[in-house]
Structure 1
């Protein structure tokens, strides 16, 4: 390394260290959690900065490919300890996003529920629980006490800051989802993927701010009823169901796909009134069509 190169690096490092903590935390928040934690060795000043990160993404899905069946519980234990330790060390007052991506199920209900309570207490805006593949079919389910807290308005005030919910291999029913929608005034994105308890869903209300709704692979689904003036995009992937859509003046994107037995004409009627305003329409395995 030349003196000139070393001098440039020293200047760059000096400039970075002059930045205020909030800017450094913002930079760290763009790193993965493991990368962020590594910054703690840079200096005494950096030791705890990573614990203020506002982005907590716990993605260990790739490690599942290398895990044998006999070692799965051991890996689950390691993963749960990782999340618990980071949340315990986290010092920030707010969290923008909290994402879990690993093979967990209802056997781990206590830990998962505690995570959600913790991040809601820090005014989290985006929660993603991707617990695929949910072995043995024991999908995670929020305990009854959780919904009671939402309904009573006590103990979960942080829920009002939620903007995005993404549940994959999480069992929620229509009433559960409606409770989230009704009590999260800022919620504009909702995705439910592989719920075995979702049968009927009503997204109805003039004050609902929901803009993006996606229901995917909920194979017991029978009916969706939508009346939401703010809705921009509706996507449904699954079997043929009854759909009723009205009062959606801003809806411009519709995607409906199903299995090889899926009949496209079955869904034309419910959405035909929206045709003049649509910009994108996708039915079954068709390519996107610009209108």
Structure 2
């Protein structure tokens, strides 16, 4: 009897599992077609493809994926790249590079198979961001982006790989869906730029980094809707003309160039790096609310240019990326910028290459009071210049409400303190130095230490 009861219980459990499975499958099959596809499109493509095992109905649903595809190299490729850098001996490096090339080809083949499997009519985004090594099927990938009417397109095939964006592919079919374009180390011809300005009415963000561009760029168009323009280290650029009524944010890193901002009534955020000093004469600066300056390439005439600064009447947030070094360029720049910003509410200083040797205290001229309400020091390590700068703000910013000291590793590893390896950054030691300053902070001012 016990054996019979046991068999009956097992049979009962099996039937229950079958009924549950059938019920679950039935629930899945009852979902409207658009809902599962919408759910899958919010997942990474590899996770979306795994759902093919859920039920018969879901087996091919992933092929209608319409979200964002991101191809930035396989995990194996990334690990192998690190190992190649660590390898000792040229022969070993060459052998590992051959293996890396084989893995890269496998990854490229997988991309082609995946793209060929997709049946969607549109895609939200498409990103190729890895070193391809050879031309392979790049034109086919770009054509795929156009055919699928992607809204966000990001392309980078390696800094040493020369790729000219093919105008004929874009002219072959309408590409009026494009909203975001990010290109790195890609050649953009004058004709290609004109196409984006005239034939992409939804384009709001355009970022060109380390790219070959025309010597003269004209950012204008009757249907131009551009809101954000980024030009970073496009060294061929000599002349820039902008007529963009909807432009809100402008970023430029690079050498000096002739500029003409004909119409930028909506521009409120600007970021400059490199030899950007000529921009201080631009009339649009009076309307800027957020200004970010990278002066890590401290040039001798920097302080002179800063003495010529116009008044930033509407500036609310100023961010300065700098090297707090022995020549005090950064400290003087800091004081001049504060003086030129009577309405400033928030100031962020990101410090790189700070000399941790305690020097003689710096003396500032106490000329005016600031309306600053929030101060943020990033990359703090307790150097004398940093402490003196903090004391200067406490004495002159009469409306100060919050101080944030971030002692974590600065954001640009390539520019970190000379000879310092990331593992030698003593976060806890710097944090302790920061906490020692708390006694100097008046009550009523919020103090945050990270």
Tell me the TM-score range normalised by the shorter chain: 0.7 to 0.9
State whether residues 206 and 229 of structure 1, in contact with CA within 8 Å, keep that contact through their aligned partners in structure 2. Answer: no
Provide closer, same or farther for how the CA distance between residues 274 and 61 of structure 1 changes in structure 2, counting only shifts above 3 A.
farther
Provide closer, same or farther for how the CA distance between residues 172 and 75 of structure 1 changes in structure 2, counting only shifts above 3 A.
farther
**Is structure 2 residue 74 aligned with structure 1 residue 54?**
no
Query: Could you tell me how far apart the structure 2 residues matched to 1:209 and 1:117 are?
Result: 24
Q: Which residue of 2 aligns with 1:181?
A: 197
Q: Secondary structure at the match of 2:137?
A: helix
Q: Which residue of 1 aligns with 2:164?
A: 141
**Is structure 2 residue 212 aligned with structure 1 residue 233?**
no
Q: Secondary structure at the match of 2:104?
A: helix
TM-score normalised by structure 2 residue count: 0.54
RMSD: 2.7
Provide closer, same or farther for how the CA distance between residues 177 and 75 of structure 1 changes in structure 2, counting only shifts above 3 A.
farther
* Bigger relative contact order (CA 8 A; separation at least 6): 1
**Is structure 2 residue 223 aligned with structure 1 residue 207?**
yes
Q: Which residue of 2 aligns with 1:246?
A: 262
Q: Deviations over 1:17-52 (max 9, x none)?
A: 542221111111121111111111222111111111
TM-score normalised by structure 1 residue count: 0.81
**Is structure 2 residue 74 aligned with structure 1 residue 42?**
no
State whether residues 228 and 248 of structure 1, in contact with CA within 8 Å, keep that contact through their aligned partners in structure 2. Answer: yes
Equivalent position to 2:173, from 156, 163, 182: 156
Provide closer, same or farther for how the CA distance between residues 73 and 200 of structure 1 changes in structure 2, counting only shifts above 3 A.
farther
Q: Deviations over 1:123-168 (max 9, x none)?
A: 221111122x33xx232223xxx41454xx5x212x1111111111
Query: Could you tell me how far apart the structure 2 residues matched to 1:149 and 1:119 are?
Result: 10
Q: Deviations over 1:75-114 (max 9, x none)?
A: 3312221221111100111111111121125x31x61111
Provide closer, same or farther for how the CA distance between residues 71 and 278 of structure 1 changes in structure 2, counting only shifts above 3 A.
same
Q: Which residue of 1 aligns with 2:293?
A: 283
Equivalent position to 1:193, from 201, 209, 212: 209
State whether residues 232 and 250 of structure 1, in contact with CA within 8 Å, keep that contact through their aligned partners in structure 2. Answer: yes
Equivalent position to 1:121, from 135, 147, 154: 147
Which of 59-68 and 190-199 deviates more? 59-68
